[in-house]
C-alpha cells in the first residue's frame, strides 16, 4: 500500500460507490481525508442510517480505524466549493490531493438523439455544469495552495465511456461527452501546473458495480458487462487512486489511466 502519511486529501462525491471507496483508500494509506457530498444524510433519532450517505461514509471509516472528515459541498455551487477548500486549509493547513469524483449520471434514453423532449439545452448544461465546470472550479480553488506548496496531485475521475464509440445508445451520450471534456481539461492543467510540481491525471474506471449500476435498467447493466471492461466492486479501484495521489509533475502527469486491467503497481 502507498504511504500518504502527512498528506491532506479532498474527495468530492464521497457519499457512496467509487467516491466512498476513494476516500477510504486514501485514509487507509495514511492521508487526512475530507470527504464531501451535497448533503450529510445523517439519520434523525429513531431512524436507521442510510447506506448512500456521507454520514455512512464517516461511520464506515471510523469502524475501519481510519476516520475521514465530512464536508457538505455541492460542486454546482462555486460558493460552497470555495468554502469547503477554505475550511480544509483552515483545519489542516494544506491540501495535497484533490479527487474530482462528483458527477451527474442521469440516464436519458431515446432512440432519437435529436429528441427535443430528451436532449434539451438544460440537460446538456446539467452534464457539463457538474461533470466539467465543477471540477474546474475545484482546481481553481486548490491551485493557489498547491502552487505555494510547490506540490500536489489532482485526479479527475472520467470514464472509459469517454473514449468508446459504443456507449451513446446506452443513454450515455451526455455523460460520455462531458467525461471526454474532463480528460481534455486534465491534460490542459497538467501542462499549466507542471512548473509548480503539480500532477494532474484523469482516472477512467471501467465497469464497476456500484449502487448506480444496480439501479440502472437491466439492459444497460448487461450492455456494460459485455463491453469488455473489468467488473469489480468499488474497493478494487483503491490502488489506482493511492498511486495517482502520490504523483508529482515529474512523475505520472497529463495521462488518462484506464482502470480496466490492473497494472503492475496494483
- Which residues are part of the catalytic machinery? 175
Distance CA(221)–CA(49), nearest Å, equals 27
User: Nearest-5° angle of CA 84, CA 243, CA 240?
Assistant: 85
Question: Residue by residue, what is the 3-state secondary structure of 122-183?
Answer: HHHHHHHHHHHHHHHHHHHHHHHHHHHHCCEEEEEECCHHHHCCCCHHHCCHHHHHHHHHHH
Q: Which three cell numbers stand for residue 75?
A: 460542486
Write down the residue that cell numbers 447506506 correspond to.
Answer: 51
Q: Measured between alpha carbons, how far is residue 43 from residues 62, 64, 70, 159 in Å?
A: 16, 20, 15, 32
From the list 202, 236, 172, the residue with the least C-alpha distance to 22 is 236
Beta carbons of 23 and 35 less than 8 angstroms apart? yes
Amino acid at each position: 500500500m502507498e504511504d500518504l502519511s502527512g498528506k491532506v486529501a479532498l474527495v468530492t462525491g464521497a457519499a457512496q460507490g467509487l467516491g466512498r471507496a476513494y476516500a477510504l483508500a486514501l485514509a487507509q494509506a495514511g492521508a487526512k481525508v475530507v470527504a464531501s457530498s451535497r448533503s450529510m444524510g445523517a439519520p434523525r433519532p429513531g431512524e436507521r442510517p442510510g447506506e448512500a450517505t456521507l454520514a455512512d461514509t464517516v461511520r464506515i471509516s471510523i469502524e475501519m480505524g481510519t476516520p475521514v472528515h465530512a464536508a457538505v459541498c455541492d460542486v454546482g455551487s462555486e460558493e460552497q466549493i470555495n468554502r469547503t477548500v477554505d475550511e480544509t486549509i483552515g483545519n489542516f493547513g494544506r491540501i495535497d490531493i484533490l479527487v474530482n469524483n462528483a458527477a451527474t449520471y442521469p440516464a436519458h434514453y431515446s432512440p432519437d438523439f435529436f429528441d427535443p423532449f430528451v436532449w434539451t439545452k438544460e440537460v446538456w448544461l446539467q452534464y457539463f455544469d457538474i461533470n466539467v465546470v465543477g471540477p474546474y472550479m475545484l482546481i481553481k480553488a486548490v491551485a493557489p495552495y498547491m502552487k505555494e506548496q510547490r506540490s500536489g496531485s489532482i485526479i479527475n475521475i472520467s470514464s472509459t465511456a469517454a473514449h468508446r464509440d459504443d456507449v451513446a445508445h446506452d443513454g450515455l451520450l451526455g455523460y460520455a461527452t462531458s467525461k471526454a471534456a474532463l480528460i481534455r481539461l486534465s491534460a490542459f492543467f497538467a501542462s499549466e501546473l507542471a512548473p509548480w510540481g503539480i500532477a494532474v491525471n484523469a482516472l477512467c474506471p471501467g465497469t464497476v458495480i456500484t449502487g448506480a449500476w444496480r439501479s440502472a435498467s437491466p439492459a444497460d447493466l448487461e450492455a456494460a458487462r459485455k463491453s469488455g471492461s473489468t467488473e469489480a466492486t468499488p474497493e478494487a479501484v483503491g490502488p489506482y487512486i493511492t498511486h495517482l495521489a502520490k504523483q508529482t509533475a515529474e512523475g505520472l502527469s497529463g495521462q488518462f489511466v484506464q482502470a480496466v486491467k490492473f497494472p503492475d503497481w496494483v
